[in-house]
Amino acid sequence: MPRQNPRPAPMAAEPQGTSRILSFLEWFGDLGAFTGRLARAACSRPFHGRELLDQMHEVGSRSLPLVVLASVSTGIVLSLQTRESLVRFGAKSLLPVVIALTILKESGPIITALVVCGRVGAGIGAQLGSMKVTEQIDAIEASGVNAFRLLVVTRVLACLLMLPLLTVVADASGILSGWAANTLIEHVPLGRFLADGLKGITFRELVPATLRTAVFGFIIGLIGCFQGFRTSGGTEGVARSATSAVVLSTLFVILADVGLVRLIQIL
C-alpha cells in the first residue's frame, strides 16, 4: 500500500489574552489618531458657530436639571451625615467649612461630570452612531461639508465649555441644600453659614478645582464622538456605541480626576 503523507499539524491558536491586549492597544492607537485629527480640525476654518451654540444648549441647559437634582441630594445627605459625626466629636461648628470644602473641591466637580457622562456621553454615541450606520455622515461629506469639523469639533468644544459652568451651579446648589438641611435641625442664618464655610477657601484653591472639569468635558465629548464614529453593525452597533461611550467616559473621568487632584497638589 502506498504510504500516505502525514497530516500537517494544526497551527497553534493565538492566545486569547494576547488578542485582547492587541485589541486594547489598537483602540488606544485609533483614539490617538482621532485626537490628532480633532486638534487639526479645531484650528482650521470654517467654524460652525450655530451648531456649537446648539450643542452648548444640549449639553448645558438640558443637563442642568439633573445636575442640580444630584447636587441638592448630595448636599442634603452630606449635611445630615457630617453633622451627626461632628456632633459626636464636639466639632459641630466645623460643619459649614466641611460641607463647602467637600462640595467645592471634589463632590461638585465629579458628580457633575458623572451626570453628564450618563446623559451626554450616551446621547453623542447614539446620535453619531446612528448617523454612521445610516450613511448620513457620508452624505454630509459628499455635499462638500467637513463632517468631522461639523459633528465632532462642535460637540467636544461644547462639553469642554459647559462643564465648568455646570460645576459652578452644582457647587452653589450643594452648599445651599446643605445649609437648608442643617437649618431644619438648627437654625443658622445663610450669611453666617456661607461666611463660616468659605472663610478657609482661597481663590487659588477654588479655580483649579472648577477648571479641571474642562478636562472632564473634553474626555466625555472625545470618547462619545470616537465611539460614535467607529460604529458598525446596524442598530445593535448603535446600542453598543452608546453603552461603551458611557462606560469608557466614566472610567476615564475617574482616572483623570485622580491624576488631576495629585497634579494640583504638586503645583
How do residues 135-146 score in pLDDT, each as one tens digit?
Answer: 888 888 888 888
Is residue 163 a part of any domain in this protein? yes
Question: What is the tally of structural domains in the chain?
Answer: 1
The whole-number average pLDDT for the span 191-208 is 82
Is residue 35 a part of any domain in this protein? no
The whole-number average pLDDT for the span 16-40 is 84
pLDDT digits (tens, 9 = 90+) for 234-246: 888 898 889 999 9
Q: What is the DSSP string of 28-80?
A: HHHHHHHHHHHHHHHTSSPP-HHHHHHHHIIIIITTHHHHHHHHHHHHHHHHH
Look up residue 238 and give its three cell numbers: 448603535
Instruction: Evaluate if residue 40 carries a pLDDT over 80.
Output: yes
- Residue written as grid cell 467637600: 102
pLDDT for 11 = 47
Is residue 199 a part of any domain in this protein? yes
Is residue 4 a part of any domain in this protein? no
The whole-number average pLDDT for the span 111-132 is 91
CB 224 within 8 A of CB 120: yes
**Pairwise CA distance, residues 193 & 190, whole Å:** 5
Is residue 182 a part of any domain in this protein? yes
Crossing angle for the helix pair 234-266 and 122-133, nearest 10 degrees? 140
Tell me the C-alpha to C-alpha distance, in Å, between residue 193 and each of 171, 172, 178, 184. Answer: 15, 13, 10, 14
Q: Which domain holds residue 158?
A: 47-266
Look up residue 3 and give its three cell numbers: 504510504
pLDDT digits (tens, 9 = 90+) for 219-236: 999 999 999 988 888 888
Which range of 5-14, 39-48, 66-75 scores highest in mean pLDDT? It is 66-75
CB 42 within 8 A of CB 142: no
